[in-house]
Amino acid sequence: MWETYSAFANTDGGVIVLGVKQRSGNRFEIQGLENAEKIRQDFWNNVNNKAHVSHNLLRNDCVRVVPVEGSDVLIIEVPRADRHQRPVFLGPNPLVGTYRRYHEGDYRCDDAEVRRMLSDAEEHSADSRVLSKFSMDDIHIESLQAYRNRFRSRDETHPWLNEDVSGFLRKIGGIRKDRDSGDEGLTVAGLLMFGKEEAIKDPAAGIRFQLDYRDRRSEDPSVRWVDRVWQDGTWNANLFQFFFRVYPRLTEGLKIPFGYQKEPDPQLGNAVIVRRDDTLVHEAIREAMVNCLIHADYRGQGGIVMEHHFDRLEFSDPGNLLVSFEQLIRGSVSECRNETLQTMFTLIGLGEKAGSGIDKIREGWKSVRWRLPTLSEQFQPDRVTVTMPMVSLLPDAAVQKLRGIIGDELQSLNAEEVQALVTADIEGSVSNFRLQSLTERHPSDLTKLQKNLVGRDLLERDGHGRGATYSWSERLRHGPTPSNGPEGSGATPGAVRSGPGASESTPGATEASVESGCPPGQDPALLKIASPARENKRLPPAKMQNVILSLCRDRELTGRDIAELLQRNQDRVLKSYIRPMVEKGLLKRTYPDDPNHPQQAYRSDAPDQRELFE
């Protein structure tokens, strides 16, 4: 049990239950404890014994005896240790007594993992370390000057602007004197932000430095990326240069509405409406970039990786979270691994110190009703990844798919229940934690909601407690239920309720789903038409266009429907086939005046021309 206590504390917390035996599969048998109170007392004695375990993380209510089926079981709720408590280890030596949880097992951490935890636990920031063997000769002056110009643009009268180059660098934390050792010189932050690339990579700096931006928006699967910014020797790679090279690439071509706000007219004195090209989405992307750079463990493996996909942005950095997922959701808690870097970005208007970064990212994505970003943490190697989907929060095609399977039953679901089912479909599973980021409902209400969907045979649970995830039930995965409509004509388009007595209309199913009683991706007739593409990974373009024409003949299908039927990447199908066919007049848009309409679909009214592109 104690290895599990250490593992839970050093990972993401968990619940230990004594008195229950797990049988084959997922069956549990209550065995009970003969003297539960004595065992609880023994546990408290050991958890408070520093020779046995380094930290007691528990409150009184975290350890309790619970009667179950006439027997007593002992429940121990272990929270995640904060950065100052980790590592939580057994015995006198953290290098041999520290554990982490990996899937369903506890494993002993290696020396490097333990030393990184010990470093994170220190009071001073990791990037404030003085590099006594480095000097101003290791600074890329052009980067520092460009930073200073941005600093000046925010406040031309700031007294730090009166300092010379090294004096200015000292003021912002790039140079420091260690009062314990007497050493003075560049800090890790100063070198990372403004250093020459060869100096940052010098082993004497003790930094693992890798910066990589990859544009993955290629229609050709054999092309790994269409653009890349990395340390290829064509530019001086430091954090300042990287940020301002990559940010324009991440925001280029964003198809979002402009923002508008009232601003005073300096000549007339009255307020005027001004268009803001800088939207909440732009602000969210900047916040995500800065968070990635300031929270990274620059001694960890893998380096900084930012990727741009057709449907999402991904920011990944080495290291672990310094606060729990729950604290991140609540916000207002600022724990930063590299506080000096954080200050440097804040001084030029990038990032904040109020713990509101996650809130800004969420608000930016909410402003355009995109699916809210997700955050994941992995170990061995330690990495944190933020994924920011650029797709609708509740895609019409996903609702159509659900309607095609459960028919009129969709009308009895409220908006949060539909959101849970759609998320489970799109993301593979959904958890209480994920729904907290998508809705305003209390966690206990979401637990009841998920249990209700399990009871209705719409979701099935995997795991227990806080770690439980929910995925589509066998009933949903195996296709539509028998129609409730007359003569088996298929599912009747319904409405999604939001609150008692309220209703919100949703678009009807495509013609194909109404005719066959199932969504297009499961329609036998459409699957037969699409079989040449589904059975051949490399279909000639002419034949692929013939298949698309046949699929869309006298019916409307969304881009997602077509891609699912063809078993191809949706973005590639849109760019390589659908859009050129629209331009040639072979396909017609449902919303011709709004090509990016979220419910856009395509139809072909042309006569049967199966060999049109031969």
568-604 pLDDT tens trace: 888 788 888 898 898 888 899 888 877 777 678 899 8
Do 112 and 35 lie in a common domain? yes
Question: Are 39 and 187 in a shared domain?
Answer: no
End of a domain among 82, 99, 118? Answer: 118
Q: Are 469 and 589 part of one and the same domain?
A: no
The percent of residues above 90 in pLDDT, for the chain, comes to 40
**Helix pair 541-552, 559-566: axis angle to 10 deg:** 120
Domain that holds residue 442: 396-505
Strand pairing report for 20-22 and 130-131: unpaired
When computed from its CA atoms, the radius of gyration of the chain, rounded to whole angstroms, is: 29
Specify whether 86 is located in the same domain as 151.
no
Is 504's pLDDT higher than 60? no
CA distance 250 to 602: 29
Please check whether residue 512 lies inside any domain of the structure: no
Statement to judge: residues 322 and 451 lie in one domain: no
Q: Residue 330 pLDDT more than 50?
A: yes
Q: Does residue 511 lie within any of the structural domains? A: no
Domain membership of residue 187 (yes or no) is yes
How many residues are given for the chain?
614
Q: What is the pLDDT, as a whole number, of residue 227?
A: 93
Question: Given pLDDT bands bounded at 50, 70 and 90, which one contains residue 474?
Answer: confident
pLDDT at position 516: 41
Higher pLDDT, 501 or 46: 46
Least confident of 282-286, 301-305, 321-325, 508-512: 508-512
Confidence of residue 254 (pLDDT cuts 50, 70, 90): confident
pLDDT at 481 over 50: no
pLDDT of residue 610: 38
Is the same domain home to 497 and 527? no
Residues 6+ apart with CB under 8 A from 182: none
Q: In the structure, what pLDDT confidence band is assigned to residue 459 with cuts at 50, 70 and 90?
A: very high
Confidence of residue 506 (pLDDT cuts 50, 70, 90): very low
Tens-place pLDDT, residues 110-165: 888 898 888 888 767 889 999 989 999 999 999 999 999 999 999 999 999 999 99
CB 535 within 8 A of CB 567: no
pLDDT in tens, 402-426: 888 888 888 888 888 988 998 888 8
Same domain, 304 and 183: yes
Q: What is the pLDDT of residue 63?
A: 94
CA distance 429 to 453: 13
Q: What is the DSSP string of 167-218?
A: HHHHHTTSEEE-TTT--EEEEHHHHHHHB-HHHHT-GGG-----EEEEE---
Q: Which residues contact 29 (CB under 8 A, 6 or more apart)?
A: 20, 21, 22, 23
For the record, the structure tokens of 28 come out as: 């549990």
**In a shared domain, residues 81 and 129:** no
Task: Quote the CA–CA distance of 339 and 126 in Å, as a whole number.
Answer: 8
Before 373, cis peptide (omega within 30)? no
pLDDT score recorded for residue 331: 56
- Residue 71 belongs to some domain of the structure: yes
Does position 466 have pLDDT exceeding 70, yes or no? no
pTM of the model: 0.62
Tell me the per-residue pLDDT of 172-213, one tens digit each, with 9 for 90 and over. Answer: 999 998 887 888 899 999 999 999 999 999 999 999 999 999
Tens of pLDDT, residue by residue over 515-563, are 344 677 778 888 889 998 888 878 888 889 999 999 998 788 988 889 8
Per-chain mean pLDDT for the chain: 82
Assigned domain for 245 exists = yes
Condensed to tens digits (0 to 9), the pLDDT of residues 353-390 reads 645 577 888 888 888 878 888 888 887 788 999 999 88
Number of domains in the chain: 4
Helix (H, G, I), strand (E, B), or coil: what is residue 11? coil
